[in-house]
């Protein structure tokens, strides 16, 4: 009888521990939109190598440099994609060294990249729709403009969860085409020279290369 009581008591203790564990698990803080917003707004600079993947699985290796507000540089190491994306002062320029055409220019506020380059991102802004999709190891945040000015106006940011860290993003180009960026060992909040984002200097280099 005493052994039975001891055994019952042990089961009771295990039961209590189990309840407490499950309670902690269920009610542990989940990552929400505000957590992501705070994280993104703490990023001042980003410097990373990248792998860019198209909808067919083709990969191009390159790098991205980002400095808030509004400074951006994406370049590629593959000679087949000999072009440069550089942004500053509210403008993004796309320079294609394989073309004789004048570099294209777009307002950065008209592209989904503004959600990476703005100083104060508000994920509850009435002009956008923000949706979190959670998985065990990562979270996807879809941001879509209600009235896009260029393209679909959508970007899907991908984060690891513990701790929160951006690991890449996707930009849908059409209903069937998308470009994915994977960050390789990104560095955050390190000093970046403003000369990296000087559009006029890069366009001058482009024009000189055509002479």
High-pLDDT (> 90) share of the chain, %: 57
pTM: 0.81
End-to-end CA distance of the chain: 99
Are residues 199 and 162 both part of a single domain?
yes
Are residues 130 and 66 both part of a single domain?
yes
Are residues 189 and 128 both part of a single domain?
yes
3-state secondary structure the chain: CHHHHHHHHHHHHHHHHHHHHHHHHHHCCCCCHHHHHHHHHHCCEEEEEEEEECCCCCEEEEEEEEECCCEEEEEECCHHHCEEEEEECCEEEEEECCCCCCCEEEEHHHCCCHHHHCCCCCCCCCCEEEEEEECCCEEEEEEEECCCCCCCCEEEEEEEECCEEEEEEEEECCCCCEEEEEEEEEEECCCCCHHHHCHHHHHHHHHHHCC
Average pLDDT, the chain: 84
Residues with Cβ within 8 Å of 53's Cβ and at least 6 positions away in sequence, in order, are 59, 179, 180, 181, 182
Are residues 41 and 108 both part of a single domain?
yes
Number of folded domains that form the chain: 2
Identify the residue with better confidence: 159 or 27: 159
At 155-166, the pLDDT tens digits run 999 999 888 999
Mean pLDDT of 164-184: 93
Is the pLDDT at 22 greater than 80, yes or no? no
Are residues 54 and 122 both part of a single domain?
yes
Q: Report the distance separating Cα 128 and Cα 126, nearest Å.
A: 6
High-pLDDT (> 70) share of the chain, %: 85
Residue of 71, 55, 87, 85 whose CA lies nearest to 175: 55
Are residues 72 and 91 both part of a single domain?
yes
**pLDDT tier at 211 (50, 70, 90 boundaries)?**
confident
Are residues 84 and 142 both part of a single domain?
yes
**pLDDT tier at 139 (50, 70, 90 boundaries)?**
very high
Q: What CATH number does the domain containing 144 carry?
A: 2.50.20.10
Is the pLDDT at 41 greater than 60, yes or no? yes
Are residues 48 and 151 both part of a single domain?
yes
Are residues 103 and 134 both part of a single domain?
yes
Are residues 52 and 18 both part of a single domain?
no
Identify the residue with better confidence: 17 or 65: 65
Q: What are the tokens at 205? A: 């280099």
Are residues 155 and 192 both part of a single domain?
yes
50 lies in which domain range?
A: 33-209
């Amino acid at each position: 009888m005493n052994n039975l009581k001891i055994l019952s008591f042990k089961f009771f203790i295990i039961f209590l521990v189990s309840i407490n564990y499950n309670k902690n698990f269920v009610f542990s803080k989940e990552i929400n939109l505000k957590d992501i917003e705070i994280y993104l707004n703490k990023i001042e600079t980003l410097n990373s190598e990248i792998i860019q993947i198209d909808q067919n699985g083709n990969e191009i290796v390159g790098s991205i440099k980002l400095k808030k507000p509004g400074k951006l540089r994406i370049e590629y190491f593959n000679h087949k994609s000999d072009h440069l994306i550089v942004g500053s002062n509210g403008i993004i320029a796309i320079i294609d060294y394989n073309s004789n055409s004048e570099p294209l220019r777009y307002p950065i506020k008209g592209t989904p990249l503004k959600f990476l380059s703005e100083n104060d991102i508000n994920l509850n802004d009435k002009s956008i729709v923000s949706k979190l999709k959670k998985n065990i190891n990562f979270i996807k945040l879809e941001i879509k403009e209600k009235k896009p000015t260029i393209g679909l106006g959508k970007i899907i940011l991908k984060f690891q969860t513990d701790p929160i860290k951006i690991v890449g993003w996707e930009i849908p180009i059409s209903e069937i085409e998308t470009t994915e960026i994977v960050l390789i060992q990104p560095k955050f909040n390190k000093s970046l020279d403003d000369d990296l984002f000087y559009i006029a200097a890069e366009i001058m280099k482009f024009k000189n290369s055509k002479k």
